[in-house]
A and B are shown apart, each in its own frame.
Chain A
Amino acid sequence: MSRFVRLAEQERPTVRFRFDGEDLSALVGDTVLTAVLCARDHLRPAEFGSERRAGFCLMGACQDCWLWQEGGARLRACTTPVAEGMRLRSTAPMSWPERSE
């Protein structure tokens, strides 16, 4: 189930990306956070508790929304625009930390 609901600006072209091995689509101009939460109800598991996390401030201040790319780099989902072909993960890939950006 998705967490976010689109209410406006739906005429934008589509972007395809991968999240935890599943193919999802979003719209050009979406942040990674918007893109994932329009398809899922959370971004990642919490590292210090049993709950899940879905971002909190959406303005780059809380750092709750970091996700992994399959290559190992991390990104802040609320300030990073989604891009065609992105391959994202909710948890660290096996080989981390290769490189962080």
Chain B
Amino acid sequence: MTDVLIVGAGPAGIRAAETLAAAGVKPVVVDEAERGGGQIYRRPPDGFSRPGRKLYGSEAGKAADLHRVFDALVAEGRVRHLPRSSVLGLYRGQAQVLGPDGVESLHHDRLILATGASDRLAPVPGWQSAGVYSLGAAQIALKSQGVAIGRRVVLAGTGPLLTLVAAQYRAAGASVEAVLDTAGLSTQLAGGLRMAAARPRVTARGLAMRARLGGTYRAGVRLDGIDAGAEGELELSWRDGRGGAHRTACDAVAMGWHLRSETALADLAGVPFDWSDTWAQWLPRADEMGRAGGGVYLAGDGLSILGADGAEIAGRLAAIACLADLGLSAPDPLRDLRRMRRMRRFADGIARAFPWPARAVRALPDEAVLCRCEGITAGELRAALPGSGQDANRAKSVTRVGMGRCQGRFCQLAGAEIMAGACGVGPERMGRLRAQPPVRPASIEALAEPRGS
């Protein structure tokens, strides 16, 4: 029987597994969490009691359905689930999987990558301070631990998550001091019209959520810096749309500029990439079904950032493509393909409404830390340009930007933007940082003594 490996048990991975199982194929699903659901429909640990309505809001029904489907597949033995496990590397049809008991090598004929996305981060001077988090982190803290990241929280950046986290924090009783959106209202309007044309109800829900934030929400701001005091307190300096300077005292800041696809495994699997101007990032290349060639399929936010609803559809499509390529009978994808096009138009509107802050990143002061892992500054990267040339990979070996423990996840887009700014060209000209195994840290022991060896 053919071995199909699915990486990720979020909306895309679950729907892919379900579709394969319905056709009689039993896939292996590797996921870093204890229980399936992914980031957006992440489940709290055992012993937590908040109902789905509290955790997932208007999406509670979808979350419950995905959880039920996945748990049933696992319980009935139609899917082999490897929880708390990460794929470290891919090589010639083998995946090195690090789980609670060490590293296991898994053979696969077909690979479906549903690796999701994480926050797209732009550095702000002082962002290396304790108490500064990603927006995703702020949400995880509340959803899966029942805690707020601070007593007085500032949320900054742009994207749907900014408004959503603000609304969730307020609903939970946290004190949100300010919600600072770097996207101006006219930019948001231009993208918002496309969003509304594609998915009017979802867009209206977002607007209503935003309206309830009232005066704490400010659009078109510039973030100048974060100062940390001796007692762990923070102060965020920012400018409003008219240039007026403000300082907001707080003890936690969460920031993010929409999302960045998690593509390291696609890279290791040999999938080609293209620069996307709309998304201001490199995205893997695949056909409409998610077929990337060589037995590799991509689905969900790790392919293109369509959100949870789009990910469910993409997961089904990738599995259908996989089944068809195996010569097995597969459901008709036509309806899903049509819905997918609508999701793409909506996502395209989001990308335009909440853009990457290229200008602010290019203007980052020399002394600002760019690489949080190793404290490397924007100035160090600029100073290395004569040696590195317009090449992100060379700049990485010269300055170590992108080489730290996060493996460039949170600095590579900003790094390329800073280099491009200094050269007066677009960031795509810097090339793409290549992913290196292991894509998650693993001890030498775990790698040296694979299980069963």
Contacts and interface: CB of A to CB of B under 8 A. Distances in A.
A41 B130 contact: yes
A6 B146 contact: yes
B140 A7 contact: no
A7 to B, nearest CB: 5
B372 interface: yes
Interface stretch (B268-276, B340-348, B404-412, B428-436): B404-412
B65 interface: no
Contacts of B228: 51-52
Given A51-B129, A62-B372, A12 B47 contact: yes
A100 B150 CA distance: 31
Interface stretch (B241-249, B318-326, B437-445): B437-445
Given A8-B146, A59-B39, A46 B128 contact: yes
A4 B141 contact: yes
B150 A3 contact: yes
Interface in A1-59: 1, 3-12, 28-31, 34, 37-38, 41-43, 46, 48-49, 51-59
Contacts of B261: none
A12 B150 CA distance: 21
Given A3-B149, A101-B443, A62 B406 contact: yes
Nearest to B231: A1
Contacts of B142: 7
Main SS of chain A's interface residues? Answer: loop
Nearest to A42: B130
B258 to A, nearest CB: 15
B422 interface: no
A79 B134 CA distance: 16
B99 interface: no
A30 B45 CA distance: 8
B373 A63 contact: yes
Given A7-B148, A8-B50, A81 B32 contact: no
A11 B373 contact: no
Given A28-B47, A51-B128, A58 B146 contact: no
Nearest to B153: A5
Contacts of B443: 100-101
Contacts of A64: 372-373, 405-406
A60 interface: yes
B50 to A, nearest CB: 6
Contacts of B212: none
Contact of B147 (A7, A28, A60, A63): A7
A61 interface: yes
A56 B146 contact: no
Contacts of A37: 147
Nearest to B84: A79
Contacts of B45: 29, 81
B151 interface: yes
Given A3-B252, A52-B130, A62 B410 contact: yes
B362 to A, nearest CB: 23
Contacts of B47: 12, 28-29
Interface in B134-165: 134, 136-137, 140-142, 145-151
Contact of A7 (B137, B146, B374): B146
A4 B128 contact: no
A41 B232 contact: yes
Nearest to B133: A56
Contacts of A46: 128, 375
A7 B174 CA distance: 7
Contacts of A31: 145
B50 A62 contact: no
B232 A3 contact: yes
B73 interface: no
A4 B145 CA distance: 10
A43 B47 CA distance: 25
Nearest to B148: A5
6 contacts: A7-B142, A29-B48, A46-B375, A56-B133, A56-B134, A58-B141
10 closest cross-chain pairs (CB), A and B: A41-B232, A9-B146, A48-B375, A63-B405, A58-B137, A54-B130, A8-B146, A29-B45, A42-B130, A49-B375
